[in-house]
Amino acid sequence: MSVEKAVEAQELVCQFGDFIAVDHVTFDIPRGEVFGLLGPNGAGKTTTMRMLCGIIRPTAGSALVMGYNVASQSEEVKQRIGYMSQKFSLYNDLTVSENLDFYANLYGVPQNKVKSRLGELIDMAGLRGREKQLTSDLSGAWRQRLALACAIVHEPPMLFLDEPTAGVDPVSRREFWEMIYRLAGEGVSVLATTHYMDEAEFCNVIGMMYRSRLIALSDPDALRESMKGTLFEVDCDDPGRAEQILKDLPIVHDAAAHGVLIHVQVDSEKQKPALEKALRSNHIAVERIERVLPSLEDVFVSLVDQENRLQARAEIK
């Protein structure tokens, strides 16, 4: 393994009976970068992460994490990673300091370094003044910060975060990602799974997963630029009915609701009048239709639509 790679996953497969949870997934993570696995629940993100952590043995394929084989050297892998699960593996009947001290001992932090390391983590996570507070009394956002501190107490070079911001408010989510960025700046490599499209913007590279497969792999800007055609944002009354009308137009590749607005993908900007005509002829008042730059959510929806169409054609054949 080259020293530049924190993770090398090659054709990873995980199968439970007849169910394929991860289907030939391949990607690399350079050291010191933040890699995001993006996709809906059930796409295979967590299973992929658990294989890389040495928790689940791959059915096929191979992976190296920090130079160690996840199948044959799982214990070496576990010693060099930090893992933060969706449910935050914290002890509610312990205080903040007691949780940190427990994990420091669990990960073998030398006793002469525990006090100074815990002080660093409390400052990093903004937990100063809460050291004696029971974990059960912490809000979700503070528990999240404590869980991250526990995951990195032993200063691992590789950090795995499984849906780390689920159920946390938007401001706390942003503050959490700022902490992750600081860790990456210190050379820590990060793999994070998420179903929040806006969080993917924080990642250097994104792998989009759908139905156990990796359907896209690139940086956020390149993914947006890869989306074909023109994207319009439609502001009108009765958006639910308008979305279905637009979806049924032959010129429309996809139409999806974005709150009370609709994003519509077509081939050309010249097709804007046809969209307006279709809505007005169905007695829908149009406030505006304007071209917009695609978001990562637009890209993902477009890719999923392509995947579904390909699968439908394959089933017909």
Give the tens place of pLDDT for each residue, 148-190: 999 999 999 999 999 988 878 888 888 999 999 999 999 999 9
Does domain 5-223 sit in CATH 3.40.50.970? no
- Specify the domain boundaries for CATH 3.30.70.100 within the chain: 228-293
φ/ψ (deg, to 5) at 129 = 95, -10
Here the tokens at position 64 are 């190296």
Q: Are the C-beta atoms of residues 176 and 164 closer than 8 Å to each other? A: yes
- What's the pLDDT at 196? 85
DSSP characters over 288-315: EEEE-PPPHHHHHHHHHHHHHHHHHHHH
Average pLDDT, the chain: 93
What's the topology of domain 228-293?
Alpha-Beta Plaits (3.30.70)
For 291-305, what is the mean pLDDT? 90
Res 199 pLDDT > 90: no
Give the tens place of pLDDT for each residue, 13-47: 999 999 999 999 999 999 999 999 999 989 999 99
pLDDT band (50, 70, 90) for residue 2: very low
- Specify the domain boundaries for CATH 3.40.50.300 within the chain: 5-223
Give the tens place of pLDDT for each residue, 263-275: 999 999 999 999 9
DSSP characters over 68-123: EETTT-HHHHHHTEEEE-TT----TTSBHHHHHHHHHHHTT--HHHHHHHHHHHHH
Helix crossing, 96-106 with 111-124: angle to 10°? 130
- What's the pLDDT at 239? 95
d(CA 200, CA 296): 8
pTM summary value: 0.88
Res 1 pLDDT > 50: no
